[in-house]
Amino acid sequence: MAELRSLQVRYRRYRPCVPVARAKARELAHEWGLLHVADQLEWGVTELVTNAVIHGRAPRGSRVVVGYHLADDLLRVDVRDWASGMPRLIPPTPPGEIVREHGRGLATVAALVDRWGVIPRVIGKSVWFEITLGSKETTAPLSEEGRCLPT
């Protein structure tokens, strides 16, 4: 039988909600037994909520809604805002050029998760990502610093 869990959390669209959303993602990883993907979950939520707050040109007082959905071995997170602008993935900085200070969040999310995308809504959009959970074991031993060691 499929394990189904779902939670929706609403935040006021302003910068102080970002660390609150990040802490909630970490808390859910603990509650739902997803410690092996806690960093991916936390980073993904942080980036998408930050984008919704900073770049989502939505009306003052609007909300950012984070939905968490767990079914079997798939965790899906969607971040919805009421702004019409669509996010875009910025290509990597070519070698020898000055690295941009901003604009790498979606590329980082894309590198950390299995799938991601954008769903336009009548009003606003949902930016989502999915993490395939698989085994709760790490695929490589970790060093003291938490980095994967060669196998």
Residue 93 confidence (pLDDT) above 90: no
User: To the nearest 10°, the Cα dihedral for 148, 71, 114, 145?
Assistant: -20
Q: CA 43: distance to chain centroid?
A: 6
Given a contact cutoff of 8 angstroms between Cβ atoms, the answer to whether 20 and 11 are in contact is yes
Q: Tell me which fold the domain 4-132 belongs to.
A: Heat Shock Protein 90 (3.30.565)
Residue 78 confidence (pLDDT) above 70: yes
Residue 14 confidence (pLDDT) above 50: yes
Buried b / exposed e over 74-90, threshold 16 CB at 10 Å, is ebbbbbbbbbeeebeee
Interval 49-66 mean pLDDT: 83
Residues 6+ apart with CB under 8 A from 97: none
Q: What is the pLDDT of residue 149?
A: 43
Interval 5-26 mean pLDDT: 92
Confidence label for 32 from pLDDT (cuts 50, 70 and 90) = very high
Enumerate the β-bridge partners of residue 120. 125
Q: Where are the domains of the chain?
A: 4-132
Q: What is the pLDDT of residue 143?
A: 43
Confidence label for 2 from pLDDT (cuts 50, 70 and 90) = low
pTM: 0.80
